[in-house]
Chain A
Amino acid sequence: MTERNITVPFSKETASSLRSGDYVYLTGTIFVARDAAHKRMYEALQNHQPLPFDVNGQTIYYMGPSPAREGRPIGSAGPTTAGRMDRYTPSLLDLGLYGMIGKGKRTEEVKASIVKNGAVYFAAVGGAGALLSKCIKKSETIAYPDLGAEAILKLEVENFPVIVVIDSEGNDLYADVMASLS
């Protein structure tokens, strides 16, 4: 198991150097969007409207936090199931999105788009929302505030632990595990 510390946003070179199975600590800026925000961004693209933030080179975390207590940047903040975003993902990858953080399987179409665009899909540990919350130092709502827990956020993270599941060559850790199922 290779462990690495990288800063986000990261370069194309960094993206292509990550390998399925790597354990990575992310420090820097990431964006948060889940179901409803993806639907809206997708509709914006269909209508030739600008996205609320430039996804080029960025990383999106699929997450919907619990409310923050006073004095805290955010509440519990673990990953949600990535597969529900699959329908919208390839268009964002085509716009230069480099990283995605979630949990669970992706479709073959998303996998192909990851390879085509040299991107990477990370898993954060599902059900570790309190622990992950502690790695988030700042949170700011930057779009769709009316969506509540589904609004788009910009986060500052420090040593945020993730595991590379699908790398830019199309290696897929989940698929490897499933293929070895007895």
Chain B
Amino acid sequence: MARIIHTETITAAVKEMCIEANLFLSPDMTKAMQQATENESSTLGKKILLQLQENLEIAGKEQIPICQDTGMAVVFLEIGQEVSLNGPLLEDAVNEGVRQGYTEGYLRKSVVSDPLLRENTKDNTPAVIHTSIVAGDKIKITVAPKGFGSENMSRIFMLKPADGIDGVKQAVLQAIKDAGPNACPPIVVGVGIGGTFEKCALLAKHALTREIGVPSPLPHIAALEKELLASANQLGIGPGGLGGTQSALSVAVDTYPTHIAGLPVAVNICCHVNRHVTREL
């Protein structure tokens, strides 16, 4: 029998997750930032990372968002196919959660209703919602507010199959270099390879929610991630883009089958305020 989930419980969860994500970094991100602080060899770079540590402490303790750009809310929903949803429409329920979270949580409203007319919606809705149907009778919700200083530095490359793995490496490093100081380094890099134009972008976005330090299950991709991270840190961009050894905290690559004629690569850049909270209902 189907398990009934009321969409109002989704609203309540999304609301809390929006607030939580903007006040507390996940434990893996916090640890990665601590490690970067220990490892940084530039004096200025270390000073900046120490400031960022202090910033995280103040944010949690005093309930001031880690960053004033509390992002556009990206919400991943994995819905078990044995779930039956009751109540308001799923999308409305998610947006209501975002509305409540951003209003009651003193988060910044950064969404405009039309990309050209640019009128602020004043409640940070709508969210960008990605829904997938999976096995089981649960719902997994991931809320990942995305800041645009780093979103703006993200890129898609439609490479040729002949460009191969070297082409992929070049593309990723080019995007990281071009982002430089603008993306608030040290950055987290989500890479999608394969699929179609839009599929690889979604892979890249989702890769940003992977736990830092957990490699791809595919050995050749795990090796690529390791190499890209090392190369990124050799660039010397450093914390705040002011020089140093800690330019990137992680490179996570996700892949998907693709067409015989193509090699799409998407690079989604995220700042050190890489926010994501996951809950299962």
Q: State the A residues within 8 Å of B (CB).
A: 1, 21, 23, 63-69, 72, 75-78, 80-81, 83, 103-105, 123, 125-131, 133-134, 148-149, 161, 163, 165, 173-174, 176-178, 180-182
Contacts and interface: CB of A to CB of B under 8 A. Distances in A.
Contacts of B240: 103, 123, 125-126, 163
A130 B64 contact: yes
B182 A83 contact: yes
B181 A104 contact: yes
Given A75-B106, A125-B55, A163-B44, 8 more contacts: A66-B64, A75-B64, A76-B70, A78-B68, A123-B242, A133-B58, A149-B110, A180-B243
B66 A104 contact: no
A131 B106 contact: no
A105 B182 contact: yes
B107 A66 contact: yes
B65 A104 contact: no
B167 interface: no
Smallest CB-CB A-B distances: 4 pairs: A126-B184, A104-B182, A76-B68, A131-B55
B66 A127 contact: yes
A125 B152 CA distance: 18
B143 to A, nearest CB: 17
Contacts of B47: 1, 23
Contact of A77 (B43, B68, B110, B236): B68
A128 B52 contact: yes
B235 A131 contact: no
B48 interface: yes
Contacts of B26: none
Contacts of B107: 66-67
Interface residues of B, number: 48
B149 A76 contact: no
Contacts of A80: 69, 149
User: Would you call the interface of chain B mostly helix, strand, loop, or mixed?
Assistant: loop
A29 to B, nearest CB: 20
B120 A148 contact: yes
B109 interface: yes
A165 to B, nearest CB: 8
B136 to A, nearest CB: 36
A66 B145 CA distance: 14
B241 to A, nearest CB: 6
Interface in B52-75: 52, 54-56, 58-59, 62-70
B66 A130 contact: yes
Contacts of A63: 68
Nearest to A84: B152
25 contacts: A1-B44, A66-B68, A66-B107, A66-B108, A76-B65, A78-B67, A80-B69, A103-B149, A123-B181, A123-B242, A125-B55, A126-B271, A127-B147, A127-B271, A129-B67, A130-B56, A130-B65, A131-B54, A134-B58, A149-B108, A149-B109, A149-B110, A173-B242, A177-B242, A182-B234
A81 B242 contact: no
Interface in B179-232: 180-182, 184
Given A66-B106, A69-B63, A104-B181, A174 B234 contact: no
A2 B45 CA distance: 14
Contacts of B242: 123, 163, 165, 173-174, 177
A75 B67 CA distance: 10
